[in-house]
Chain A
Amino acid sequence: MSYWKEIIEGGWSLVEGMRVTVRRLVRPVVTVQYPRKQLTLSPAYRGHIEFKVFPEIGTHRCIACGTCQRTCPSGVIKVQGVKDHARAPKVATHYMIDFTRCSLCGLCVECCPTQTLKYSTEYQLEEESRWDGVYDLMARLEERRT
């Protein structure tokens, strides 16, 4: 008797399963056709880093202290700055990141004493060579300002 019972119960469980899938078949899909339709990014999205532009001075506030450079676990950041004269505050002139090795931990943003770094929201970062992954943040900043 259990033989028949198992066949019937087993068969019914298969029918139940098929009911689940067919109900999904007529439901609207949940995916989007990516390049044509894009989802909105989360407000906290962490892309590569970028300079903030402070409206009151119209540019970044990086003082090239090198904290980010030392904190970065992967040694991605290279920053250089100059002083106009001996008493003047240091101002960054070069800021390069090697995004190919970045692990997006965000420690640089947090440790920055002048809060001049932020996360970019770019994510379509296709490049042709490894060197294209090295970003010059200064140049990017100029590009954005103009």
Chain B
Amino acid sequence: MAEQFQEPVVEQIYTLNLGPQHPSTHGVLRVLLDLDGEFIIKADPVIGYGHRGHEKMAENRTYKQFMPNSSRMDYLSGLLYNHGFVLAVERFAGVEVPERAKYIRVICAELNRISSHLLWFGTYIMDLGGFTPFLYCFDDRENILDILDRVTGSRLTYSYCRFGGVNRDLDGEFISMTRAFIERLRSRWTDYHNLVTKNVIFIHRTRDVGVITPELARQYGVVGPNLRACGIPFDVRKSEPYEVYDRFDFVIPTGTKGDALDRYNVRLEEMEQSCRIIEQALDQLPEGPHINEVAPFKVKPPRGEIYFAFESARGLTAYYLVSDGSPYPYRCHIRVPSFGNLQVLTEVFRGTLVADAISILGSIDVVIPEIDR
């Protein structure tokens, strides 16, 4: 688009208020667009409509009490956030975790990642105007939710991980359901590719749209699939393996150009990789307790701090915890991936069409409550 874009005549510019109530801003994002015709001159995202003060809440709660909050920041990958927070505190306070619990967590976290990506896939096509793939994805996602519901008892905000293990043990039914799901998901790829990936309209809507160069990604701290789409194989699961991720064989999918189509392909491939991780974890799943029964009831990490990074569905997420030795964190900061991923849009939007802006916003996969915290 950029070559067609010419410097505008100032008088022709008008402001369009995209959101906060708009069908495709995924929550309560508001973007002030300065437009020349349908070309975007300047974009100014306004966030904060969903600010709940999680960081302040953390200071007034014990670590255990903050645990349910963690899955409410990014409601699409709640279990991953939950997992990350529990891992951070465990490493901070030195809580032992049984092997089986580690595998259970990885399995559930990867299932959650697939469900998050599936939802993204559906809503992204819906942003582009195709309604039907959305429902197909929900059909598949419903399966994951059923599986997770079976073990966690909840469908969205799981609060499943505990310091020293997980809430509830897996049963045989769970394992067979998961294996059946993976098989089913793999059988659906052909349909998805025929319906969406190969579709000429879809390709034209996404190819060369919203290109994020590696340098731009670095400047804005873009992480996750968006970063991998521009060709940098950076994944916390590989670079700083936490839990048992170093025992699994999976690859980091990367793109080449960093456009919306690459981001799409990377996410689709990531789902397949998650399936592989789950399969390996199910094969290796050891017997044993699912929770460390002797874990202290009240977690009191020693004085100091920890910065724990993990890979959520949207990229590198980190909990920064400072403890004064009491059961309450002195400071809890959450580094969220969507923050940088959204901020880069001020740069990427420039010179694109309104329709492209929607496509780019969708392809970035932001979850607004995660940014607002």
Contacts and interface: CB of A to CB of B under 8 A. Distances in A.
A and B touch in the complex (CB under 8 A): yes
Interface string B56-88: 000001001111110010000000000000000
Interface string B191-220: 100111011110000000000000000000
A17 to B, nearest CB: 5
Interface string B35-54: 00000000000000000000
B65 A107 contact: yes
Contact of A17 (B150, B151, B167, B194): B194
Contact of B149 (A42, A103, A119): A42
A9 B200 CA distance: 8
A42 B139 CA distance: 18
A111 B154 contact: no
Q: Interface on chain B toward A: helix, strand, loop, or mixed SS?
A: helix
B132 A10 contact: no
A72 B66 CA distance: 10
Contacts of A11: 200
A106 interface: yes
Given A20-B191, A20-B194, A44 B151 contact: yes
B331 interface: no
B238 interface: no
A21 B195 contact: yes
Contacts of B136: 24
Contacts of A119: 153
Nearest to B150: A42
Contact of B194 (A19, A44, A105, A111): A19
B153 A105 contact: no
Contacts of B198: 13, 16-17
Given A10-B200, A20-B194, A110-B167, A46 B153 contact: yes
B195 A20 contact: yes
Interface in A109-130: 110-111, 119
Interface residues of B, number: 33
Interface in A2-39: 6, 9-11, 13-14, 16-17, 19-21, 24, 30
A89 interface: no
Nearest to A102: B68
B67 A44 contact: no
A71 B64 contact: yes
Interface of B: 61, 64-69, 72, 132, 136, 139, 142, 146, 149-154, 157, 159, 162, 167-168, 191, 194-196, 198-201, 297
Which A-B residue pairs are the 7 nearest by beta carbons? Answer: A10-B200, A105-B68, A44-B153, A46-B153, A73-B65, A105-B159, A42-B149
26 contacts: A9-B200, A10-B200, A13-B200, A17-B194, A17-B195, A17-B199, A20-B194, A21-B195, A24-B136, A42-B146, A44-B149, A44-B152, A44-B168, A46-B154, A71-B64, A71-B65, A73-B61, A73-B65, A73-B68, A103-B68, A103-B159, A104-B154, A105-B67, A105-B159, A107-B65, A110-B167
